[in-house]
Structure 1
Amino acid sequence: MSLRGKKILVTGADGFIGSHLVEELVRQGYDVCAFVNYNSFNSWGWLDHSPHEITKELNVFAGDVRDPYGVKKAMTGYDVVLHLASLIAIPYSYHSPDTYVDTNIKGTLNVLQAARELNIEKVVHTSTSEVYGTAKFVPITEEHPLQGQSPYSASKIGADQLALSFYNSFNLPVSIIRPFNTYGPRQSARAVIPTIITQIASGEKAIKLGSIHPTRDFNYVKDTVNGFISVAKSEKSIGEVINIGSNYEISIGETANLIAELMSVNIEILTEDQRLRPEKSEVERLWADNTKAKELLGWYPTYGERDGFKRGLKETIDWFTTSSNLKNYKTRMYNI
């Protein structure tokens, strides 16, 4: 479907991926409303850092996806909903799993119910590679079994299944995008790449991490954003789950050493117990098969393979090491 002339609502627009997505949609000339989390500071999250030429074109709705009435009000008058609002920190899901059920499952239900009642033309629901758990085979296709190895991943499995149920039960035009580990400017320091960069940037040589042997398929945020837009445009994506990944696997330890090389420092990696996941909860291996995205959407990673990963890391390092950006992070504090 063409997005020209469509009114697009993005939930989770104040977050890492959501803010980049909103900015790109505005740059491409689309009519966008940013659904941000209501707070008493009137903060729009990362959108507060967006250029004026972006924000002046935005409609902004402050609310909470856990509130069905506010969600329906926000969605009224819009044609396409890109649903990114979610609690995503895995360590915090061990601490407060109830909040993940409320936000990730009930929040998604609120979006789906409103979309059904309002006859929304397209809903893109955001999944995560964490729903696969430790790979039983690689590269991981969309047919891989789902494994709830953390309360976070369990909540996202539940949300994904709700989205598919509304497609199957009510013919709601839902697509599920399943990004693998997205990284880039603005990401929370609880994620491993910003954790490494910000520790080095603050002068640390002994870098504190959790497990370094697990592997990940890191996806640069620009590629993830292009994946969202491609899914939104594609009629073939309706009723489908689609991986968005680089199809390149690398360990956490090798990633840390690669970042150190790009930042021209020598580091020592220390394992800190509080950063370790419970043994059965650790996802040991993630590696995306992105064939379906290429075939259905014509999407492919422009930051793929090792050279693309290094380019994405360089852009990420450049952003985090800018003093005005680095000051937003508490580099010596572990953030769950």
Structure 2
Amino acid sequence: MSEIYRDDIQVTMRPVSDTIGLPYTVNPLQVADREALIEIREGPPGPAGVQGLPAWPWQWMGDAATPATLDALNLTTADAGKAWRVVSLGAVYYWTGLEFVPNYEAFGAPGHQGTPNALTGSGVVGATGSAAAAQITGTSPGQHLEITFPQGIQGDPGDPGAAGRIQDAADVLIDATHPLGQDFVLAWDTTLNKFRPVPNPRNAGPWAIAAGQFTGGSNINTTPKVVATMTIPAQPTAWRPIVEGGLVVLSHVHQIGQSRMDVEVRVGSIDGDLVGYGHGLAAANDNRVSIGSRFAFPMTPTVNFGVVAANTTTTLYVLVRRVLGEASYTVTTEHAQLIVYAHAVRS
């Protein structure tokens, strides 16, 4: 064909049904102008293919103002299958490779079913006295409708509401880091500038033991000797023991001042901090030694002496200790007692 035509020609192949099952030995070819038509026998039907998307009958090229705009493009057979919308006529012009085929009723009919639009919406409060407005943003199928509602004027005061919860107040902070607890109270936190829950700072107790929990004896030489213990359960805040009580101790002396036994109360162990003390009598008489709180150092809010940490179970030890001489002694448990309060400590 290259010897006959200097330009390309359009070749159209048309299938021919085989109605009687005889093979074709000749495939006819007809040439008219620059178009060649070849008839080829159809083969047997193949399997169905995968369902594809709806096909376009042309390659869409967009808008052209007038037919003259398309003529100025100087299209060739290589542009066959392209189509434009001619705006001035409201028609589709299809280029076959040789000429334009106009379709004057291409617009106005229903198109393909589009993807459903998942429209979302929200409301916005506008200024008092402004106009209502609405706008749609985004592209289908994910568009968003925003409606602006003007704010009304200030209304009359409503009826008093029910009493609210203190923990919902703006200046109260209760969360996972600052949870509520049994018997907690609110305390001002200067760092957070809010009230937060803290364990109740009041004294806890009392806890007490009496004669049946004390161990007595006569002619005792051991010093110091543990005569009683008291276990205090864990408290939600750090605390310091406040103690009071008494115990009868007799020193076996021949003269006044020869020997003396005192009573101590220590926290945590027999060598722990000294939190209670009773001064004995250096005489051969039954002497009920009075026990009271005692701290060996000047006490301030920051001193840790005798402090039991929060959430810690501890034991107090009552000891009899020889502080003078070498005489033996007797401990009588009758009327013995120890009373303990937990005094909350704040840092």
TM-score (norm 1): 0.19
Larger RCO (CA within 8 A; separation ≥ 6)? 1
Q: Which has the higher strand share?
A: 2
Query: Which structure has the greater CA radius of gyration?
Result: 2
Q: Which has the higher helix share?
A: 1
TM-score (norm 2): 0.18
